[in-house]
Amino acid sequence: MNRTAFLWINLVALLLFTPLGFATITSVPAAPNIDAEAYVLVDYHSGKILAQKDMDKRIDPASLTKMMTVYVLDHELQNGRFKLDDEVIISPTAWKTEGSRMFVQAGKKIPVQELMRGVIIQSGNDATVALAEFAAGNEAAFTDLMNQYAKQLKMNNTHFMNSTGIPNPEHYTTARDLSILAQALIREFPETYKIYSEKWFTFNGIKQANRNRLLWREPYVDGIKTGHSSTAGYCLAASGQKDNMRLISVLVGSKTENDRTEQTIQILRFGFRFFETHRLFQANTALNQPKIWMGNRQKIALGINRDLYITIPHGQYKNLEAKMNIDKRITAPVAKGNTYGKLLVKLENQLVAELPLVALEDVSTGSLWSRFSDYVALGLHKMLESKDEIAQSS
């Protein structure tokens, strides 16, 4: 018997999914035609890009920069460099920073957690510089950290010159890179991400509203950040959850504040209306247990090392097919994580996902007797395979 496994899985039965009894949508209309410099719409879980315009064009991010500022601060907090209740002494430099403000006063001591809200909700440049100085000694050193984290995230077309987004010719990114950053901050720091959904923040007796008007307009939206400058235009990175699906949109270069809101709504509604996301397979769960030769056990568990999510057009779930191509012979010893095949998912004969099948456990070599037995059995197995191949060719 050929040891290569070809397993076509009916995902409807496997995932206990019952399609609704009405006509399904089998096509998706053209992506929204948005009058802005660039945009991208991506599914958070699968990473699939659903719509875009010039997503790799170099753009000025304005205050969307502060998404990276907060991401770096979260890492510094996670690494124990400082704590949320530590107090920051506001420097004259931070106090004088131009642009949107939290209205901190020079010489005052303000807890990190309040300044973080001033950055996220009020987009305060003064609070941003104060935190950058506190975290790294000065803003230039902090900006170097921002660029290091951008490289780690593979934001390959991004370079920061400051922590605030104040315009600079060498301060740039792309819509795609900002969507990568958005995915990271939601995934890695969910507690901080909750702050992005807060509509108001009051400091020093001054109550300011979150500039993200989607928080009032669309109940499923829970972030992320606005931006504006004379060179960048009006920008908005947004995210929301609906029907077990989270989408992220990044829009840059709109003409007005109202435009960026209405255009982002149009982009998000397009995604939620015409696509659906499913988790097909769970990480570190045995999907197949093929024979292993020369080992201290008879079978080995194979699976994937991350959850497999796919985003597909609405109504197409029932047409999915999964296939496992498993190596013909797996021989001990085996180290956990080694690759022994592929998991392929197709939709109407189009490949939509491919992940390596890996060993979910270590398998040591068996006893001398069990190895000898397997050696004999393997020899017979090869002989039978050869006969089958000769018979098929003749």
State yes or no: is 123 an active-site residue.
yes
Catalytic one of 123, 163, 179, 249: 123
Tell which residue, 244, 149, 180, has the closest CA to residue 47: 180
Burial of 21: CB neighbours in 10 Å, binned 0-12, 13-18, 19+: exposed
Asked whether the bond before 333 is cis by omega within 30 degrees of 0, the reply is yes
How big is the CA angle at 219 (ends 218 and 225), to the nearest 5 degrees? Answer: 65
State yes or no: is 254 an active-site residue.
no
215 and 221 in contact (C-beta within 8 Å)? yes
State yes or no: is 63 an active-site residue.
yes
3-state secondary structure the chain: CCCCCECCEEHHHHCCCCCCCCCCCCCCCCCCCCCCCEEEEEECCCCCEEEEECCCCCECCHHHHHHHHHHHHHHHHHCCCCCCCCEEECCHHHHHCCCCCCCCCCCCEEEHHHHHHHHHCCCCHHHHHHHHHHHHCCHHHHHHHHHHHHHHCCCCCCECCCCCCCCCCCCEECHHHHHHHHHHHHHHCHHHHHHHHCCEEEECCEEEECCCCHHHHCCCEEEEEEEEECCCEEEEEEEEEECCEEEEEEEEEECCHHHHHHHHHHHHHHHHHHEEEEEEECCCCCCECCECECECCCECCEECCCCEEEEEECCCHHHEEEEEEECCCCECCECCCCEEEEEEEEECCEEEEEEEEEECCCECECCHHHHHHHHHHHHHHHHHHHHHHHHHHC
Q: Which residue do the tokens 């592929």 mark?
A: 342
Catalytic one of 46, 53, 63, 249: 63
Catalytic one of 66, 179, 225, 249: 66
Tell which residue, 46, 44, 49, has the closest CA to residue 31: 49
Sign of the C-alpha dihedral, residues 47, 49, 53, 55?
A: positive
Question: Catalytic residues, which ones?
Answer: 63, 66, 123
